[in-house]
Amino acid sequence: MSPADVSNSPQANGAAPHNSERIYFFDTTLRDGEQSPGCTMHADEKLRLAHQLAALGVDILEAGFAIASDGDLESIRTIARAIGKDRSGPIIASLARCKREDIEAAAKSIEPASRARIHTFLSTSDLHLAAKLRITRQQALDQIAEMVALARSYCDNIEFSPEDATRTDRDFLIKVCEVAIQAGATTLNLPDTVGYCLPQDYAQMFLDVRARVPGIEKITLSAHCHDDLGLAVANTLASVQAGVRQVECAINGIGERAGNASLEELAAIFTVRHSPENLPYKHNIVMNKLYPTSQMLTECISFGAAPNKAIVGANAFAHAAGIHQHGVMVNPLTYEIMTPASVGVPHNSLVLGKHSGRRALEHRLHELGQNLSKPELDAVYHRFTDLADRKKTIYDQDLIALVQAERSATTATA
């Protein structure tokens, strides 16, 4: 494979310098996401989801880990051929360890794409160097220099990640970044591999790198956060405010262990809270495709989003408390900070149960063609709350039966 026909400018690399207001979304659903238990996908499922991710507007699509298997390599090639030919579509990325055979496999996998990236990585924390790789710091630096240069010989668009960056000695991390840039890296991704950081700590790491690494102003900084402490999205936001312009994330937040930063949550935050004072950033995500993309992923893997998952969970636009139901019926803005349609959810829902009020019950009965007088509604509501105390789920047929029972009782006493 000859070097890809792309410029080294940040824009051509699918990213932006630190002072840009453009945020680039790097989707790793098909790579890090697929590595999590229960998330393995067949090649046709990956291709189908890749088409959806391209339509969603992701800027870089990490299609897989080529060295993992012949099937994964061919799956990446298929995606690169089907989607990567479109220069207006996402950059197709392939992951590789800092090993010659990995990088050669990654290069082969992205060959059909007109815009492609090799993403290579090596652990840099002393814990990983000693326990996992069993190499010295100097050996790590030498390996990074050699393998990033090798990757650059195949492709002009190179991302390097020092794995476990957040637990890496800061002085050594600065040296690692310097060596990677000198070898040809165009994007530096500093991952919180084990989800250990607090937001202020993660932001400070990027501020230190920006202040101390020569040539960093020409490099795109990227964040990759795991959710082990539930801080992946918060840490990613903190990094953006520290100069990061590429965010690595996955649909439904799937990924190793507790998962990655959630793409839909980040996109929604950048949209709902967009302002010159808070988050003045632009992005390319097509918001009303978020829910359909989440649903497609659910079809491809063995589980869906948790019901209380932000943005795409079944309860994200569902209201059960009577006070909330009343407010939403009068004006949805009372309890919804975005419309369901804005993220592709068909509609909100009023869930009838023991916390519901008369207004919600009346509203649903009206939808079912049952228009009750006030005395009838009061009587049916009493029956409804009695049933709700005994039954967790109230179905439409239950409501109709309650109306019929009340009317039969009224007729019998007349």
State residue 176's pLDDT score.
98
Q: Work out the burial of residue 46: count CB atoms within 10 Å of its CB; fewer than 13 is exposed, 13-18 middle, 19 or more buried.
A: buried
Please give the structure tokens belonging to residue 400.
Answer: 């109709």
In the chain, where the domains are located: 24-300, 318-413
- pTM value is 0.86
Q: Work out the burial of residue 314: count CB atoms within 10 Å of its CB; fewer than 13 is exposed, 13-18 middle, 19 or more buried.
A: middle
Q: What residues have CB less than 8 Å from 243, skipping those under 6 apart?
A: 18, 206, 207, 210, 221
State residue 2's pLDDT score.
42
State residue 159's pLDDT score.
98
State residue 326's pLDDT score.
75
Reduce the DSSP state of residue 187 to 3 states and report it: strand
Please give the structure tokens belonging to residue 103.
Answer: 């990088």
Q: Write out the DSSP string of 267-323.
A: HHHHHHTB-SSSB--B----GGGHHHHHHHHHHHSS----TT-TTTSTTTTEE-SHH
Q: What is the DSSP letter of 166?
A: G
Reduce the DSSP state of residue 96 to 3 states and report it: strand
State residue 5's pLDDT score.
38
Instruction: Judge whether 157 and 117 are in contact, CB under 8 Å.
Output: yes
Helices (H) and strands (E) in the chain, counts: 14, 10
| Chain centroid, CA 347 distance in Å | 22
H/E stretch holding 318: strand 318-319
- The structure tokens 């019901």 sit at 307
In words, the CATH class of domain 24-300 is: alpha beta
Reduce the DSSP state of residue 410 to 3 states and report it: helix
State residue 362's pLDDT score.
87
Question: Which segments of 71-115 are extended strands (E)?
Answer: 91-97
Q: Report the alpha-carbon angle 14-63-160, nearest 5.
A: 55
The Cα–Cα gap between 367 and 95 comes to 52
Please give the structure tokens belonging to residue 168.
Answer: 């890496």
Instruction: Judge whether 222 and 60 are in contact, CB under 8 Å.
Output: no
State residue 16's pLDDT score.
66
- Mean pLDDT in each 10-residue stretch from start to end of the chain (414 residues)? 41 64 97 93 96 98 97 97 90 98 98 97 98 97 98 98 98 98 98 97 98 96 98 98 97 97 98 95 97 95 92 83 75 80 83 81 83 91 89 81 88 75
State residue 340's pLDDT score.
85
H/E stretch holding 385: helix 374-388
